[in-house]
Chain A
């Protein structure tokens, strides 16, 4: 038994990594090889797919647009959620618990429900097809999530810390920026990660609210299915590049997320 204890984890990891490997594998093949033969590694190794993405502006602009609205959304969500979460964790006010619950219920509706009102509203006010339109639409889902996660972290900080700072002579803004925010830095990291991920993988709103100028990468990827047939190699390369930003963010917040789980909110 002892000799085979490596078996189950190994199988599990293979199972998890296989689709990613296959995507990577495909991205270095030509479309002909993908469709023609079954091969575990690229027979005709090519970087042509990646070259197309990095040189064709319709391709790399897709990434650029996606990252723009995702970063914008993350900044908006965290900035708005910080004071809101502070209020929920430190003050008692009329209906505070109901308001907190209502915030969460926003996340229970599927994004598709909001696609039409957003589309109509943004067309009317001239926000349609801008990164800000997508960022604001995603904020509807991300701000409640951010408030909820941050409130958990903030409630873990004893109120006496606030009192101590006031007694030491700190004004509220000075306390908030110099002491409180550094204290919950890991919470902010975790929150930023979750808002980033939601915005990065959300497709429907991003596609509905843009046409040409602010087209996200996921929408660009649909053009591989054109009249000339499927460009599977190109699609695979685009997929690989789409995984990378998420992987980078996860790498930076991996320790904080563990802490967040320990604090019971993530």
Chain B
């Protein structure tokens, strides 16, 4: 079923928490809400669930207007970032609780809980209390409760954020399989661009209570419509700088300029904002088109097979990310190469300039 938000806003007192938002979330693949903390992901999910009533706007689900319908009547399930289970019940009762509320027969409850526990590898833990489980097992219990209900709308609010790296990888792989072919609309909130790319589907970028862009995850990543989306959907953050277009060249500063791609020649002359992702600035020369810049090294982070180099160039703090180990001494001047065919240009309204 499809979830549609029509011009939804939320004001609390004089503060606006959600600016007018339109979204159409389908039941195929994951729908990802991507944004930094305090972007409004959780609030938007609470509105979708029916826990918070929007100030204005309508919510349609499966062709029905559910704006005023209480959360209990909506057949929703939700998993939070914190591991939320009922501490007074054991794992079996935790998973069974949504089934008990609708008055399902005992034999059927047992059958369903056991089959879900089997899928999530929780069978040996069914008799334990949540406090006796590890973080990963607690979150599996919460996921099992969300799965067993066969909800039409499943809201996953950063479900992996509090897990350690290994468990996160493991569950991230399992998650899409769990919800496959269930015909439910899955919404997944995350702060990590990498996670959004790995889960695929559609992504809505959120920034300070505004949806900056919604579309296929890969497309949004490659062609962000505006600067905010590019900033949210880039880790480490995208590098930006004011540039000027003159004739068919882009001028970064007195020393550095390059020829624009042919399809962008029609851009009007004047000031623009350049956006270039860290992995498109490399500390070594490659084939392709590139422009050389000089930067003063601030710090180099080596993470196994990748180097993240923070450097300073004419007062701009930029980041370069390259595979391989590139260790530079602090305060030394080094050459970096911008892959000019990968540059994004934004106009004064922070909108992407297209061909």
Residues of chain A having any CB pair with chain B under 8 Å: 158, 160-161, 163-171, 174, 179, 182-183, 185
Contacts and interface: CB of A to CB of B under 8 A. Distances in A.
A167 B77 contact: yes
Interface stretch (B80-88, B238-246, B287-295): B80-88
Given A168-B149, A171-B72, A183 B77 contact: no
Nearest to B49: A167
Contacts of A179: 86, 88-89
B77 A158 contact: no
B107 interface: no
A164 B84 contact: yes
Given A163-B51, A183-B87, A168 B145 contact: yes
A66 B197 CA distance: 69
Nearest to A182: B88
A166 B82 contact: no
B204 interface: no
Nearest to A158: B82
The 7 closest A-B pairs by CB, nearest first: A182-B88, A169-B101, A168-B98, A160-B80, A167-B78, A160-B84, A166-B71
Contact of B76 (A160, A161, A167): A167
A161 B72 contact: no
Contact of B101 (A161, A163, A170): A170
B103 to A, nearest CB: 10
Interface string B77-112: 110101010111100000001100110000000000
Nearest to B78: A167
B81 to A, nearest CB: 8
B28 interface: no
A163 B48 CA distance: 13
Contacts, number: 50
B46 interface: yes
A12 B304 CA distance: 59
A169 B98 contact: yes
B78 A161 contact: no
A160 B142 CA distance: 12
A174 B98 CA distance: 12
B86 A183 contact: yes
A161 B86 contact: yes
A185 B78 contact: no
Given A169-B72, A169-B101, A163 B78 contact: yes
A163 B47 CA distance: 12
Contacts of B72: 166, 169-171
Contacts of A166: 51, 71-72
Contacts of A158: 82, 84
Interface residues of B, number: 22
22 contacts: A158-B84, A160-B82, A160-B84, A161-B84, A161-B86, A163-B49, A163-B51, A163-B78, A164-B78, A164-B80, A164-B142, A166-B51, A167-B49, A168-B77, A168-B97, A169-B72, A169-B98, A169-B102, A170-B97, A170-B101, A183-B86, A183-B88
Given A166-B72, A168-B77, 19 more contacts: A163-B49, A163-B51, A164-B84, A164-B142, A166-B71, A167-B49, A167-B51, A168-B97, A168-B98, A168-B101, A168-B149, A169-B72, A169-B102, A170-B72, A170-B97, A171-B72, A182-B87, A182-B88, A183-B87
Contacts of A167: 49, 51, 71, 76-78
Contacts of B89: 179
Contacts of A185: 88
A168 to B, nearest CB: 4
Looking at B72, B80, B89, which has the most chain A CB atoms within 10 Å of its CB? B72
Nearest to B52: A163
Nearest to B157: A160
Nearest to B80: A160
Contacts of A168: 77, 97-98, 101, 145, 149
Contacts of B102: 169
A158 B101 CA distance: 22
Looking at B78, B142, B145, which has the most chain A CB atoms within 10 Å of its CB? B78
Contacts of A169: 72, 98, 101-102
B305 to A, nearest CB: 38
Contacts of B51: 163, 166-167
A167 to B, nearest CB: 5
Contacts of A182: 87-88
A174 B89 CA distance: 15
A166 B101 CA distance: 11
A164 B88 CA distance: 14
A163 B46 contact: yes
A158 B72 CA distance: 19
Contacts of A170: 72, 97, 101
Contacts of B142: 164
